[in-house]
A and B are shown apart, each in its own frame.
Chain A
Amino acid sequence: MGKITGFKEIERQDETYTSVIDRVKNYKEFTVPLKDKEITKQGSRCMDCGIPFCHSGCPLGNLIPDFNHMVHQGEWQKASWILHSTNNFPEFTGRLCPAPCEQACVLGIIEDPVSIENIEKNIVERAFKEGWIKPQPPKSRTNKTIAVIGSGPAGLAAAQQLNRAGHTVTVFERDDEVGGLLRYGIPNFKMEKGIIDRRIEILKAEGIIFKTNTNVGVNYAVEDLKIFDSLVLCGGSTKTRSLPIQGIDADGVVQAMDFLTQQTKVLFGKEVKDQIMATDKDVIVIGGGDTGSDCIGTSNRHGAKSVVNFEIMPKPPGHRSASTPWPFWPLKLKTSSSHKEGVERNWLINTKEFIKDKEGKLIALKTINVQWEVIPGKRPELIEIAGTEKTWPCDLALLALGFTGPESNLADKLGIDKDGRSNYKATYGKYQTNIPNIFTAGDMRRGQSLIVWAISEGREAARQVDIYLMGKSELPSKDISGDLIAM
């Protein structure tokens, strides 16, 4: 707790962005950090609640009031210890997390919540700057070996925790660089990739082995994994959802992930054949989520002629509605920095057909307006509104419709059970699959979700692996009974 009346006196101050005109010219991060003094003040807005709902709302169980207090006191290093005690990679979550903590922040009941995420980012950046983040190789080795498949946030977190427990960890990554979706799925303007590299250096120095371009089950036989005492599968939820309508095969209908990945690769001088460009095109992004928003930002940077966004759900209210009460995740309109860079957003709109020309090139989209009929106890029903058909000229349609689940290749080859939603099956909190020495964590287990959940699962799975191998574990764990139960 900083100041008892801090929340009454100080207003929330967020990072600002450089102007749209400037920022769309490049792919750099465009946030303008607050001054240290201002961050300290922001820390004092924390009310040191008797029940810090933020701490419960955070899937990692970040000790938010405690690091806020240290920030207010100017004790940055202690803040960093506290932060790192629950979070391996605050630099990722500090930039990319949708911050359920802030939605659960008690101050949020009456005014803008504490800018927890930004404080988090500042702590970790300060820590890197001061050189407080150093490799912490284990003091002794257990001679147990572990393979972590997938180097996204779940895999990295699991790897670091297991390595700290003294196990020898090898991380397999099928792509050419470590990071999973963080690496190529997240546009550079949201997180510059040096942020990942900086952390990977630490991990390497701690003794973690990384094998890139190694796609287990494809160019690396699963049988070869037998040399490991245990496996942790963190392959993510990467199967994209498609739109099975007429014209889907049109040239110019592209999965958002492909579009984004290519752009990021290009930025790093990787060879990309026939990069999909939005330059001077009428771009329509289908899907109103974060990926859709990333596509909008990227399209604008490409210099699209126009950018339009479709969302099949109704436009959410501008503020939290009564049906999603605090401290739960609110259903409300989110306007990202990319949205502000220029887009026409449409809600309650369903794409009926991709219209292509003779060459098979996409030229337009046909849509119809819809409404949802809600009958209590039944699944809401989609009803098309007759006479609202419309055709939209379009050169490039980006499908940002989310992911349907993990790829099944590994499961098939390793003989791992899956659940009804095609996720790899393991109980939350246990992470153990039907094969005792194989564990799974992150989106691969829970389906598409947040980075913060991936880190959390990776950490917790690591502890379970440690217990499996050693009979007990000194690795930290969050008390899952503290998770804020969903609405």
Chain B
Amino acid sequence: MEKQGLYLPEFEHENCGAGFICNLNGEKTNQIIHDALEILVKLEHRGGVSADGKTGDGAGLLIDIPHDYFKRVCDFSIPNQREYAVGMVFLPKVSNQYYFCKTIFEKELKIQGLTVLGWREVPVDSCQLGEIALASEPNIEQLFIGKTDKIDEATFKAKLYAARKIAEHTIRKSKISESNYFYIPSLSITTIIYKGIIMPEDIGPYYKDLQEIDLVTRLALVHQRFSTNTMPTWELAQPFRHMCQNGEINTLRGNVSRMRVREEIMKSDIFGPQIDKLFPIILPGKSDSASMDMVVELLTHTGRSLPEIMMMMIPEAWEKHKTMSKERKAFYEYNGCIMEPWDGPASVPFTDGDYIGALLDRNGLRPSRYTVTKSGKLIMSSEIGVVDVAPEDVKEHGRLEPGKMFLVDMNEGRIIEDEEIKSKIVSERTYQEWLDKTRLHLKDVPYTSETCPIESIDVKTRQRLFNYTFEDIQEVITPMALVGKEALGSMGTDTPLAVLSDRPQLISNYFKQLFAQVTNPPLDGIREEIVTDISLNLGKDRNIFSITERQCRKLRIQNPVISNADLEKIRSIDIESFKAETIQILYTKSKGLNGLEDALDNIVIQVEKALEKKNNIIILSDRGISQELAPIPALLACSFVNHQLNRLRKRSYFDIIIESAEPREPHHFATLFGYGASAVNPYMVNEIIRMQVKEGFITGMDEQKAVDNFNTAIGKGILKVMNKIGISTLHSYRGSQIFEIVGFNSQFVEKYFPYTASRIEGVGLYEIEKEIDQRYKQAYPDNKINKNLSLNIGGDYRWRRNGERHLFNPTTVSKLQQAVRLSDQDSYDVYANAINEQAESLMTIRGLFEFDNLDPIPLEEVEDWTEIVKRFKTGAMSYGSISREAHENLAIAMNRIGGKSNSGEGGEDRKRFQKDINGDSRNSAIKQVASGRFGVTSHYLTNAKEIQIKMAQGAKPGEGGQLPGYKVLPWIADARNSTPFVGLISPPPHHDIYSIEDLAQLIFDLKNANREARINVKLVSEVGVGTIAAGVAKAKADVVLISGYDGGTGASPLTSLKHAGLPWELGLAEAQQTLVMNSLRSRIVVECDGQLKTGRDVAIAALLGAEEFGFATAPLVASGCIMMRKCHLNTCPVGIATQDKELRKNFKGTPEHVINFFFYVAEELRKIMAQLGYRTLAEMVGQTHKINSNKAIKHYKAKGLDLSSILHRPTAYKSMILKNTEEQDHNLENVLDFTILKDSHRALYRKEKMNLAYPIKNTNRTVGAIISNEISKIYGHLGLPEDTLNINFTGSAGQSFGAFGSFGLTFTLEGNTNDYLGKGLSGAKLIIKKPVKADFLAENNIIVGNVCLFGAVNGQAYINGIAGERFAVRNSGATAVVEGVGDHCCEYMTGGKVIVLGKTGRNFAAGMSGGIAYVYDPENKFSNGLCNTETIEFEYISEEDAAELKTIIEKHVLYTESKKGATLLADWTTSLDNFVKVMPTEYKRALERIATEEPMFEELIKA
């Protein structure tokens, strides 16, 4: 779909199901095709369907070229196998364009000296297509190409590649209307691809070839796509030519821009001078997988093997790997100099026809299960159970491990293990020698006697010039220098966007960080540090085709935030191959705009000259400013040099170091790296810190230590910014431009910040210069009035009179409180006017709108306020972050008026589920499910009217949270089902949502857990949120919430408060436009929140497309909050954001205050509705014509804004559905639970013991949740007595087997399961065992998938085999036995017991704060490096422990007939010696404290 309104196609995402199947004996069979099609059908739930219900997001398969079949069906003769190539070609429908494309392609083939053997029309049955697919269906033909000359295979392939690339470029540039129909899915001498936007079950019927029984193959790669948009295209269906992918490449933007740079210096013997015609290698506007495939394809022509290419592009996390071989590390380090990682959650099956294999990303974020059969089949797929295999035929069940490769040599007919293939590849060249010889480390560069330049003007003047305030020094810089961490803030941000601010802004402030939500996960760089790295290599790049030691002649910097001394070293570096030149980024102040523009151009000229002199490190420096010479914003200079030199094709020759006084916050550094810097020296901050130490504001350390602390804090901050978007290494982040600009005009962006989204126009170079001028005026006042204050006081983070304006200020807070307390309409009016009337002082985008097309009606005709408030909700604030008093107050108020309050993350005291005696209800209507899953049980979910999945939160999208142990008081712990005084971590990602199909799965899980509740998905506004919302609608959420970046009550790093995410106006409008365009709007309710404060705010939100509205800060203020912004310190003086007993007594809010607030808001809204002519709110939704954005704006910065894209109406908008009109079809009717429900009547209602049995398949998902829901409804959280309902299943269970299983259920599964076994387990017993008939060794085979027992609260699990990654993540009470696990086992665990009888992966117990784990470790591998010992200690196993351990293992043997268990028990004393007990330090302390501090429970009992 084309760019329109706020919708930008480049932000579409896709995730999927993928797999392959092959015959290890090299036999070609038709069965493989059948199996492949079956896999597709069985993965259907991982794919997406368009609004027409028939057009899939894309499905396809890649197979061997069926030589014999083609010989039969082609009416021309074809040479021997591998002597010809077959192209699958999509062509235009219009006949002259069709011929045009054919001719061009043929011509290019001929130029390459190849012969066209003939075209074959591919027989298809178009009846199988949905409306959308049919509309874009191409003519599909196959082209057979032969060699003319005797050329080797590599040359043949290269010629095919060149011909195809050039034909593609030619046709793309030809401007014919159907040029986008022309696409060549495959052009190969070995493989061919059949794909389209077809439902999986239709792909066979559509491509008639696939039904022919003589169509045979050895291998098949299959793919089923789920894209977030619903205008899928034929060409983006997968597989691609060499690979397909399940996941998402988060680093794509950086990779693409780096590839553009690489093209500058590409040279190749095989392509010769025509190589220039191949560019761009990556066609613009394609998906991440398509782009990656294009690079893989290029690299196959560089003499690297396919497995080597995959290792180069998706390296393992080698940097911090303790046990990896030296040779392998050298390989990765060497290749790191050539290619940055393509990083993100990705399982990538690949093939070139000879090899077929798959690789998993460094963090193991996608499931990849495989089965090898005795009969010689290998099936690898996102799920197990996709092809029926008899248990006795199974030779091995395995899974792909993080960063690991899995390869089959089709010609040898064998599986090559990761170790073997990688050892072979890494030993092909002497990488270590090359590195030792050529690699330079910064620490090895000698210090110089040069001291850093001395500034001629005084420090205070310079600080004013660079916009420093007291607040910057006190609140931003000093804390970082003191503790090496960024300071926290609370209560969101309510200051104007940079473009609306009167105060001069650093240009970084116009940039908003993008972050991952839904389609890809953010990372946890703290707990999963092993996968992160911020080191960078500096120096000249080299031709990617050459594989020589020169490639790694680079300077390696460990932390690219460098000190003055390090910078001096580099400045005067005198080592072969390295030469640095400093270029001043200053302009002549008096020349104004022209001076600035000329200076920028001049910098580029200077860089070019420096390059001629063989410099390869360019230091851009703003030192040396004066009254005459002004600094060019470092980010502007950096980005311009980065892009302009690329335009000049010289970017490969150097790297950029920034020496600037500007950067002080992590965000400033992040933007610099994001636009191409390779190191930054913040010299002014260094100076300030040294002064702060001298003056005694920083004590307890010397100056250098304080500076180092700051640099470390920035390093961590950048890591956090990267992790937000799911990027692990700075190497991949550098130059990636993962930002959206708010408030730059497009001309300016195009020249200086190309490839970055900026959708509402705004300022340009002229205004930027004006802002610098303003800074000058402050720095050099006209007359010499002695100022008592040398700097501005600040006021960004806390209100100050002469500081930045805030929406919540003394007047608005006090007037709102006066209004609700004294029921005083006049005060409310003062409040609302102060917020609404932003004409004079622009603060928000909505403030720039005016109502238009008024059509007044009498106020009485407008629906009552009591109706309106039913659409109002209070924000998600957890009990724990706010006090019980404040939390319950909101709930009572909302329940009284029929609105909804939100539990927030952190469970809810179950006593609140019952009504109070006076009829009030303290039960939160909305129950949140966040990444920590605290207190999320079947019972909790059962008591919800709405269940909200928090994907991100406005205050800090892409980040997790932490409730430190001292705040986890007994009553908080109880609500969260955790241990008192044990810290709780909410990870950045939901560990069961790494992609869109995972979200669909969680929605399905929750819908099963409570069928009556609406499922709400909370997103935060950013560019691309529209496509995500469309994805969420397709994933069948009932409600999607678009949150503004500025809202949020929780604690958050200062950088995140201000610089991540966008105002809701943009996100909401984008979501509305995208949903409407895709005909998805009718299926979903759209909600909006983020600094909503008045009826006018609600009116604007409704007109932009929202039908429900969330408020958090304002109702808190109505309850007494006075915006201390100290919520994270537990010192809230008004008893809201605190657990302090004494302070909580100060809470004076009442439900009436909150109700008064909503009454006033609704009444204000009613008046606006009457003016506009709407009787009901429903009529208003999406009526953007009632908003006028053309208000005359006088403000010099804001007048350049163009808000029309927010009000954009897609064609035929009027006739389209603009609001929610129907319910989602959740397809629950076929759920196995309903069958079980029918059969288990006696157990459920009469508590009789019952035994039932069912077969099970991978398409039976979330088995047990509905039964548990029924049990919870009747019996509450206690459920049924143990073993009341016993069910035996056989087969491969689908995802979320046993999810939220409640007490009384016992599931025994003979077979295996997919991911999320026992998610949210609430008391049930799960037994997973190897089928009796199978003869493989259970303890060596994988039996359950990833992320099992996530958020389990209670219950037992006995697993007779190995589990995948992140076993028992965030377990808070379940007991589990398993015979082996993958990486990150017991991550964030807070309670329960986990017993591992076999091998573990890396990073065991990361962030584990509670519970106990026992690991059988006879070879001491676990205790020597696999366990993350940051929060735990190894403890002696007491007799009591030993007895308990033995009992549990005995049960395991009893239930699963585990051989491993039996063996251990047989020699128990020896076995016991080999067990390691993992005890979290905090847990141990907490247990001691609980034992001694009985009185703390008082409160709990009282509650």
A residues lining the B interface (CB < 8 Å):
4-5, 7-8, 47-53, 55-57, 61, 63, 65-66, 69, 73, 75, 81-82, 84-85, 104, 106-107, 109-110, 136, 138-140, 164-166, 322-323, 325-328, 472, 474-479, 481-482, 484-485, 487
Q: Which residue of B lies closest to A57 (CB)?
A: B810
Given contacts A106-B1122, A322-B822, contact A474 B785 (CB under 8 A): yes
> Whole-angstrom distance between the alpha carbons of A136 and B781 in the complex?
17
> What's the minimum C-beta distance from B1157 to chain A, rounded to whole angstroms?
15
- The residue in chain B whose Cβ has the minimal distance to the Cβ of A107 is B1133
Q: Is B799 an interface residue (CB 8 A)?
A: yes
Residues of chain B within 8 A of A482, CB atoms compared: 801-802, 809-810
Interface hits, B757-780 → A, CB 8 Å: none
Given pairs A47-B1131, A110-B1134, 6 additional interface contacts (CB within 8 A) = A49-B798, A49-B1122, A49-B1125, A81-B789, A104-B810, A482-B801
Which 6 A-B pairs give the minimum distances between C-beta atoms? A50-B1125, A56-B810, A482-B801, A85-B788, A139-B784, A50-B1123
Q: Given A106-B1122, A109-B1146 in contact, is the A51-B802 Cβ separation under 8 Å?
A: no
- Assuming the contacts A479-B801, A482-B810, A487-B818, asked whether A50 and B785 have C-beta atoms less than 8 A apart, the reply is no
Please tell me if the beta carbons of B793 and A63 are within 8 angstroms of each other in the complex. yes
Determine the distance from Cα of A478 to Cα of B1126 in the docked complex, in whole angstroms. 26
B95 in the interface (beta carbon within 8 A):
no
Known A-B contacts A8-B1142, A164-B786, A166-B783; the reply to A106 vs B814 at CB < 8 A is: no
B808 at interface by CB-CB < 8 Å: yes
By beta carbon, the residue of chain A nearest B831 is: A485
**B470 interfacial contact with A, CB 8 Å:** yes
Measured between beta carbons, the chain B residues less than 8 angstroms from A75 are 695-696
Whether A109 lies near B1133 (C-beta < 8 A) is yes
Contact B1124 A50 (CB under 8 A): yes
Residues on B with beta carbons closer than 8 Å to the beta carbon of A323: 822
Nearest CB to that of B781 among chain A residues? A474
Contact between chains at A485 and B815 (CB < 8 Å): yes
In the assembled complex, the Cα of A107 lies from the Cα of B841 at a distance in Å of 30
Known: A107-B1133, A110-B1133. A48 touches B798 (CB 8 A): yes
Residues of A within 8 Å of B695, CB to CB, are 75
Q: Within B856-885, which residues are at the interface with A (CB < 8 Å)? A: none
**A82 in contact with B788 given A7-B1133, A48-B798 (CB within 8 Å):** yes
CB atoms of B787 and A476 under 8 A apart: yes
Task: Report yes or no: A47 in contact with B784, Cβ–Cβ below 8 A.
Answer: no
In the complex, A8 Cα to B1145 Cα: how many Å? 13
Report chain B residues within 8 Å CB of A110: 1133-1134, 1143, 1146
Q: Which residue of the partner chain, among A7, A52, A328, contacts B814 with CB atoms under 8 Å?
A: A328
- B159 at interface by CB-CB < 8 Å: no
Q: Using a CB-CB cutoff of 8 Å, which residues 802-817 of chain B contact chain A? A: 802, 805-806, 808-811, 813-815, 817
Q: Which residues on B sit within 8 Å (CB–CB) of A81?
A: 788-789
Closest to A84 in B: B788
A sample of 26 cross-chain residue pairs with beta-carbon separation below 8 angstroms, ordered by A number, consists of: A4-B1126, A4-B1129, A8-B1143, A47-B1126, A48-B1126, A50-B798, A50-B799, A50-B1123, A50-B1125, A51-B798, A51-B1122, A53-B813, A53-B1122, A55-B799, A61-B802, A63-B793, A84-B788, A109-B1122, A109-B1146, A164-B786, A165-B783, A323-B822, A325-B817, A328-B814, A328-B818, A474-B782
Task: For the complex, give the distance between the alpha carbons of A418 and B987 in Å.
Answer: 67
Interface residue B1247 (Cβ < 8 Å from any Cβ of A)? no
Q: Which residues of A lie under 8 Å from residue B785 when comparing CB positions?
A: 138, 164-166, 474-475
Give the residues from 1123 to 1141 in chain B that come closer than 8 angstroms, CB to CB, to chain A: 1123-1126, 1129, 1131, 1133-1134, 1140
Q: Is B896 an interface residue (CB 8 A)?
A: no
The complex places the Cα of A55 from the Cα of B810 at a distance, in Å, of 9
- B1305 contacts the other chain (Cβ, under 8 Å)? no
A264 to B1420, CA, bound (A): 91
CA of A322 to CA of B817, assembled, Å: 12
Known: A73-B697, A81-B789. A478 touches B802 (CB 8 A): yes
Q: Does B830 belong to the interface (CB within 8 Å)?
A: yes
Cβ contacts under 8 Å, B789 to chain A: 81-82, 85
Cross-chain contact A55 with B1129 (CB below 8 angstroms) = no
Q: Does B1376 contact A (CB under 8 A)?
A: no
Decide: A485 and B830 in contact? CB cutoff 8 A: yes
**B468-490, CB under 8 A of A: which get 1 and which 0?**
00100010000000000000001
A49 and B1123 contacting across the interface, CB-CB below 8 Å:
yes
Does B609 touch A at the CB level, under 8 Å?
no
Chain B residues near A479 (CB, 8 Å)? 801-802
Residues of B with C-beta under 8 A to A475: 785
| A136–B1133 touching, CB < 8 Å | no
B1062 interface residue per 8 A CB criterion? no
- A51 touching B817 by the CB < 8 A rule? no
Kindly list chain A residues whose C-beta atoms are within 8 Å of the C-beta of B788: 81-82, 84-85
Instruction: Give bound CA distance, A175 to B787, whole Å.
Output: 33
**Which A residues are CB-close (under 8 A) to B808?**
51
A474–B777 Cα distance when bound, in Å, is 10
The 8 A CB mask of B17-56 against A (1 = contact, 0 = none) is 0000000000000000000000000000000000000000
Q: Is B800 an interface residue (CB 8 A)?
A: yes
Whole-angstrom CA separation of A327 from B1122 in the bound complex: 10
Contact pick for B782, options A48, A107, A322, A472, CB 8 Å: A472
Instruction: Report A179 CB to chain B, min CB distance, Å.
Output: 23
Chain B residue with the shortest CB-CB distance to A106: B1122
State whether A325 touches B821 (Cβ < 8 A): yes
Q: For the complex formed, measure the closest distance between the CB of A112 and the CB atoms of chain B, giving whole angstroms.
A: 12
Minimum CB distance partner of A78 in chain B: B695
Q: Across the interface, which residues of A come within 8 angstroms of B793, CB to CB?
A: 63, 66
**A474 and B1123 contacting across the interface, CB-CB below 8 Å:** no
Give the residue among B695, B782, B785, B797 with the most A Cβ atoms within 10 A.
B785
| B562 within 8 Å of A (CB atoms) | no
Chain A residues contacting B1122 (CB-CB under 8 Å) are 49-51, 53, 106, 109
- Complex Cα distance, B537 from A201, in Å, reads 65
Query: Is there contact, CB below 8 Å, between B783 and A474?
Result: yes
Question: Bound state CA distance, A136 and B784, in angstroms?
Answer: 11
A30, B1133: Cα distance in complex, Å: 34
Q: Does B491 contact A (CB under 8 A)?
A: yes
CB–CB A63/B800 < 8 A: yes
Establish whether residues A478 and B801, one from each chain, have CB atoms under 8 Å apart when the complex forms.
yes
Cα distance A8–B1133 when bound, in Å?
9
Let me know if B786 and A109 touch, CB within 8 A.
no
Bitwise, B1134-1169 to A at CB < 8 A (1) or not (0) is 100000101100100000000000000000000000
Given contacts A139-B784, A325-B821, contact A53 B814 (CB under 8 A): yes
Least CB distance from A341 to B in Å reads 35
**B822 and A52 form a contact (CB under 8 A):** no
A166 to B786, CA, bound (A): 11
Given the known A-B contacts A55-B801, A474-B781, A484-B814, are A50 and B830 also in contact in the complex, defined by CB atoms under 8 Å?
no
Contact of A484 with B1124 in the complex, beta carbons under 8 Å:
no
Most chain B CB inside 10 Å of its own CB: which residue of A136, A323, A479? A479
Q: Tell me how far the C-beta of A94 lies from the nearest C-beta in chain B, rounded to whole angstroms.
A: 16
A482 to B798 alpha-carbon distance, docked (Å): 13
How long is the Cα–Cα vector from A164 to B1146 in the complex, in angstroms?
Answer: 47
Chain B residues 1104 to 1136 lying within 8 A of chain A, measured CB to CB, are 1122-1126, 1129, 1131, 1133-1134
| B215-252 interface with A by 8 A CB criterion | none
- Which residue on A lies nearest to B810, using beta carbons? A56
- Pick from A51, A107, A166, A322: contact of B810, CB under 8 Å: A51
* B793, B815, B1129, most chain A CB atoms within 10 A: B793
Least CB distance from B693 to A in Å reads 14
B815: A residues at CB distance < 8 A: 485
Q: Report the nearest A residue to B803, measured CB to CB.
A: A479
Residue interface bits B1186-1228, CB-to-A below 8 A is 1, else 0: 0000000000000000000000000000000000000000000
Q: How far, in angstroms, from A63 to B795 measured CA to CA in the complex?
A: 11
B residues in contact with A55, CB < 8 Å: 799-801
Bound-state CA distance A373–B72 (Å) is 110
Complex-state Cα separation, A73 to B817, whole angstroms? 34
B454 CB to nearest chain A CB (Å)? 26
